[in-house]
Chain A
Amino acid sequence: DAGVIQSPRHEVTEMGQEVTLRCKPISGHNSLFWYRQTMMRGLELLIYFNNNVPIDDSGMPEDRFSAKMPNASFSTLKIQPSEPRDSAVYFCASSLGGVGTPYEQYFGPGTRLTVT
């Protein structure tokens, strides 16, 4: 299996621009997570999907962030407009399980976002 695939691996953009991060989970997994990692705050859960449905988006920082999962094999995290404080590494992870079943989460390689 190819594992969780994320694109792009690196993104540099100017403040105010729209940024779209992409994720392809492991085939057969039904749970998908978006995380953000910074030096100051470590790893934080942004949003959790189960069977393509957003279950918990309480970690999404503000309305500038949105996430979609149109089908079982694709998800996007969009930031519009981007700000310098959004600079971080964004990870996508997937697992096999439902709400209340803490299965192993497999992380992608991450997207390093720099907003200037």
Chain B
Amino acid sequence: KNQVEQSPQSLIILEGKNCTLQCNYTVSPFSNLRWYKQDTGRGPVSLTIMTFSENTKSNGRYTATLDADTKQSSLHITASQLSDSASYICVVSGGDSSYKLIFGSGTRLLVRP
């Protein structure tokens, strides 16, 4: 069964600190992996997209890694800001239809001053 699992479910950190969110997937065949940020009351916004051949991609203070062998990904946030408080969703494209996105349940991050 195609699944995407994320950990932790929620996380609280102090402003300025770093954090790492984890994602494991069992999607086959694999097309690409995406990390989305969803602010409360808004739609998801893409942070990074990685294909099979990419093992790291950065977007400002966000750095995503991908290990296609172990089917694991991580999202590292550096020098967190209050505006980073949001849900972060790991999404894998693939399976029986490349256009279908298989969503993780998300990690809810709260950055405190």
Please tell me which stretch of B15-23, B53-61, B101-109 contacts chain A, meaning at least 4 of its Cβ atoms lie within 8 angstroms of it: B101-109
Task: Show the binding face of A for B, using Cβ within 8 Å.
Answer: 4, 31, 42-45, 48, 55-56, 91, 93, 97, 99-102, 104-110
Collect the chain B residues with CB atoms within 8 Å of residue A42's CB: 103-106
The docked-state distance in angstroms from the alpha carbon of A53 to that of B104 is 28
Give the interface size class of chain B: 20 to 34
Nearest-Cβ distance from residue A41 to partner chain B, whole angstroms: 9
Collect the chain A residues with CB atoms within 8 Å of residue B31's CB: 102
The docked-state distance in angstroms from the alpha carbon of A104 to that of B98 is 12
Collect the chain A residues with CB atoms within 8 Å of residue B49's CB: 104
Task: Show the binding face of B for A, using Cβ within 8 Å.
Answer: 31-32, 41-46, 49, 89, 93, 97-101, 103-106
Nearest-Cβ distance from residue B2 to partner chain A, whole angstroms: 12
**A–B complex contacts, Cβ < 8 Å, 26 sampled:** A4-B43, A42-B103, A42-B104, A42-B105, A43-B44, A43-B101, A45-B101, A48-B99, A56-B99, A56-B100, A91-B43, A91-B44, A100-B99, A102-B31, A102-B98, A102-B99, A104-B46, A104-B49, A106-B46, A107-B45, A109-B41, A109-B42, A109-B43, A110-B41, A110-B42, A110-B43
Collect the chain B residues with CB atoms within 8 Å of residue A104's CB: 46, 49
Nearest-Cβ distance from residue B36 to partner chain A, whole angstroms: 8
Collect the chain B residues with CB atoms within 8 Å of residue A55's CB: 99
The docked-state distance in angstroms from the alpha carbon of A91 to that of B44 is 9
Are A43 and B99 in touch, CB under 8 angstroms?
A: no
The docked-state distance in angstroms from the alpha carbon of A60 to that of B31 is 24
The docked-state distance in angstroms from the alpha carbon of A105 to that of B44 is 9
Nearest-Cβ distance from residue A36 to partner chain B, whole angstroms: 11
Nearest-Cβ distance from residue A80 to partner chain B, whole angstroms: 25
Q: Which residue of B lies closest to A93 (CB)?
A: B43
Collect the chain A residues with CB atoms within 8 Å of residue B93's CB: 102
Collect the chain A residues with CB atoms within 8 Å of residue B89's CB: 43
Q: Which residue of A lies closest to B31 (CB)?
A: A102
Q: Which residue of A lies closest to B94 (CB)?
A: A102
- Among A43, A97, A104, A108, chain B packs the most CB atoms within 10 A around the CB of A43
Collect the chain A residues with CB atoms within 8 Å of residue B103's CB: 42-44
